[in-house]
Amino acid sequence: MPTPLNSTVEVKRQAPTPYSFSRPYWEGTREKKILVQYCPRSGQYQFYPRPVSIATGHRDLEWREVSGAGEIFSYTITRRAREPFRGHEPFIVATVTLDVGVNLLANIVECDEDQIRIGMKVEPYWLPLPNGMHLLMFKPKR
């Protein structure tokens, strides 16, 4: 029997300090919106937020709200963690590919070790942070 996985929702997390160019993403999480940078010249979305289009080097990026539909690209089961995650192992850190073509890292909740697999469809799960922002997590799509 695999050990049950920790959802990590009990971990005491602080809201991160954004850069000037990533602040719109974090502000969007206050309303549980996923805002991703879009480059109109190349038609490419990009994540994590950058001060410039990684495709063209131009700065005419747009912020677009996306649905958060995604699938697992890869995952690791963290069995030895640092603070503040210590004592909450084992838990999943996954690379999730959103349907707009970007990869991001997130914890996966409501998911067992024998359930997680690459290619599994996931949907957003929002964890409140102390300052009113939210951390984007994912759960298996039902």
Residues found near other proteins in the complex (CB under 8 A): 8, 11, 13, 16-19, 22, 26, 44-48, 54-55, 73-82, 85, 88, 90-91, 93-95, 97, 101-107, 118, 135
Cα 18 from Cα 27, distance rounded (Å) = 10
User: CB 17 → other proteins: shortest distance, Å?
Assistant: 6
User: CB 48 → other proteins: shortest distance, Å?
Assistant: 5
Contact by Cβ (8 Å): 82, 89 = no
Pick 69 or 93: Cβ nearer other proteins = 93
User: CB 77 → other proteins: shortest distance, Å?
Assistant: 4
User: CB 114 → other proteins: shortest distance, Å?
Assistant: 13
Cα 142 from Cα 123, distance rounded (Å) = 9
Cα 108 from Cα 126, distance rounded (Å) = 11
User: CB 36 → other proteins: shortest distance, Å?
Assistant: 10
Which helix (H) or strand (E) is 28 found in, with range? helix 23-28
Pick 48 or 62: Cβ nearer other proteins = 48
For residue 74, the cross-strand partners are 95
Selection from 133, 41, 117 nearest residue 141 by Cα: 117
Pick 3 or 31: Cβ nearer other proteins = 3
3 Cβ contact partners less than 8 Å away, ≥ 6 residues apart: 90, 113
